[in-house]
Structure 1
Amino acid sequence: MDEGLRVCVIGDELVAGLGDARGLGWVGRVMARTSTEEPVFVSQLAVPRESTTALSARWETEAHRRFGAHSDNRLVIGLGSTDLDEGLSLARSRLNLANILDGAAASRVGCFVVGPPPRPDVDGDALAQLSHAFGDVCQRRHVPYVETHEPLRTHEQWHADVAAGDGVHPGQAGYGLLAWLVLHNGWHAWLGVPTDAV
């Protein structure tokens, strides 16, 4: 029996939409613009300020509890910049993401990765290198990767929205920008659903 589409979204507090007064975050906005014939079961599995090391250690247990034996299981990975806070090397960050993607592939779970957006309290060049490294890992595995740092690095609305909040996380406008980037970088094609007017 076909159990439909199940999507687990793992990552840090950005996956949970922290700072969004509407409580949607980018995940809720993306799903609101995703039309499917059957309802989609979406689980947001966020842990605040989580590094890729911690993420790689927990994703499988948490996601597989929500996947079905006869469902179309998908994994969305929302990456943040905590690796830089914790001093992880680029090699370690790359390996952590690679382990997640390879483990998912072994379980026939399709992956979609959203890179880390700019943070005013993090070195922009270091974050650009981290995002590039994540993108390279995805490219080598033919996994869709949404670059968010470069498009938003000098985006006035992004920075104004972050500054208007806690100075680290975006609000409604910022999450809208993240959702736009996801929707315009292969989301519908990855899910195999029609593209709405976005």
Structure 2
Amino acid sequence: KSEDIGITCSNLGVRADTSTDVLRRWEMEVDARRLKPHDTRVVFGFGANDCWIEEGRTRVERTDTISNTTAILSRAASLYPTLMIGPPPALDEAEDSRRQEMSALLGDLSNHAGVSYLSVIDALRHGGVWGMEQQQGDAIHPSAGGYGALARLVLEWPEWWFHPEI
């Protein structure tokens, strides 16, 4: 929080959305919420739902994840300062492995688009609170402590735009 900079944040996340869903709606939703002519910045965080298994296959084919992500990041970066945050870990070993692969893929795609990427999967897995709170809840999402751990990773990220004074 700063007295010098007024910041309006809009969380446009929709639970269970995939990169296909984000591609379809992100630009329209950002445009509807941005305060013209003020500075607009965009942070994306998707990918976990793309690799979720439904009816024996991932919700989004890898080739579609690649084309969706490329389209999203290239367009966003041409309009606004843009960052990308990778998917968090999963409790299920097979799901976690798919998320690890997704994180690496998204990192490569972000780099290719010139967008800074923050991989959070290993730090959250080894930090403990994310997984502990997943186990205590719905086995997918943590509670406040897990999201606090994620927020600390973002705040400590050198590419993050707003660093709190310590």
TM-score range, shorter chain: 0.7 to 0.9
- Output the aligned Cα RMSD: 1.9
User: Which structure features the higher share of strand residues?
Assistant: 1
User: What is the total number of aligned residue pairs between the two structures?
Assistant: 160
Aligned residue type for 2:48 = S
- Does the CA contact (< 8 Å) of 2:130 and 2:142 recur in 1? yes
> Is structure 2 residue 17 aligned with structure 1 residue 46?
no
Q: TM-score, normalised by structure 1?
A: 0.73
Q: Which runs of 5+ in 1 are unaligned?
A: 1-33
Distance, in Å, in 2 between the alignment partners of 1:80 and 1:133 is 10
1:186 aligns with 2:158: yes
Over 3 Å counting, the alpha-carbon distance change for 1:194 and 1:147 in structure 2 is: closer
Q: Cα offset for 1:154?
A: 3.6
- After TM superposition, what 4+ stretches of structure 1 lie above 6 angstroms from structure 2? none
What residue number does 1:120 align with? 91
**Which structure 2 segments of 5+ residues have no match?**
none
Q: Which residue of 2 aligns with 1:196?
A: 165
After TM superposition, give the deviation of residue 187 of structure 1 in Å.
4.6
Identity of aligned residues (%): 29
Flag the structure with more relative contact order, 1 or 2, with Cα contacts below 8 A and sequence separation at least 6.
1
Between the aligned partners of 1:162 and 1:35, the Cα distance in structure 2 is 33
Please give the residue correspondences for 1:15-164 in structure 2 after superposition, counting only pairs within 5 Å.
34-35=1-2, 37-85=4-52, 87=58, 88-106=60-78, 108-121=79-92, 123-164=95-136
In structure 2, relative to structure 1, the CA distance for the partners of 1:126 and 1:67 (3 Å cut) is same
Partner Cα distance (2:111, 2:72) in 1: 14
Which amino acid in structure 2 is aligned with residue 196 of structure 1? E
TM-score, normalized by length of structure 2? 0.86
